[in-house]
Amino acid sequence: MIDKERIEQAVREILGAIGEDPEREGLRETPARVARMYEEIFAGVGRDPAEVIKVFREDSLEEMVVVKDIPFYSICEHHLMPFFGSIHVVYIPQDNRILGLSKVARITDILSKKPQLQERLTREIGDALVKGVAPHGTAVLIEAEHLCMAMRGIRKPGAQTVTSDFRGSLRTDTSLRAEALKLIKG
């Protein structure tokens, strides 16, 4: 559970530590605003996407399901700065088990709303799909821009980091994998 009181104290502390006056007009409400914002952007801490997964049974559905261009915003756990972009999910149903389409976006939402790493987010979405629908195969692709890269250090605004996670038949069968990538890019 998020302790807003503690966040407010900590933000006041940081503002003081960078040499600002936390009591000046423009900053006085900032700790409370940040606490409310953190409650929203870290709403996935301690949550399990299994709680939103709902599986349907649909006869003879063994074709690839593609949900692409799911927008997401997450916070890099190394710098507490945003990284954001698009998530693409592909899976091949097994034994007629399919996932409600909106559930894919719910899964990505829960897993992105916590201090994260792009690589781990990619893997955790794959894990949730495998656990939730036990498909023949899954592919998760994330394209993201990291503000910690754009605003500091090597300063490369617009640079995209791409991560992927392939499971089951989408890992072992190169032609299926190529088809999935084509559907994502197409």
Shortest CB 146 distance to Zn ion, Å: 6
Taking CB under 5 A as the criterion, which residues in 42-81 touch Zn ion? 76, 78-79
Which residues, in sequence order, are CB contacts of 130 under 8 Å at separation 6+? 138, 167, 168
Rounded distance, CA 179 to CA 147, Å?
32
- The verdict on whether 51 is a catalytic residue reads no
**Strands annotated E in the chain:** 55-57, 65-76, 81-92, 97-99, 115-116, 137-146, 161-168
Which of 79, 94, 143, 179 is catalytic? The answer is 79
- The verdict on whether 78 is a catalytic residue reads yes
- The verdict on whether 88 is a catalytic residue reads no
State yes or no: residue 148 binds Zn ion (CB under 5 A): yes
Which residues, in sequence order, are CB contacts of 153 under 8 Å at separation 6+? none
- The verdict on whether 148 is a catalytic residue reads yes
Shortest CB 144 distance to Zn ion, Å: 11
- The verdict on whether 146 is a catalytic residue reads yes
Which of 112, 138 has the CB closer to Zn ion?
A: 112
- The verdict on whether 136 is a catalytic residue reads no
Which of 88, 116, 136, 146 is catalytic? The answer is 146
Number of other CB atoms surrounding residue 77 within 10 Å: 12
Which of 161, 169 has the CB closer to Zn ion?
A: 161
Rounded distance, CA 115 to CA 91, Å?
26
Residues making contact with Zn ion (CB under 5 A)? 76, 78-79, 148
Catalytically active residues are 76-79, 118, 146, 148
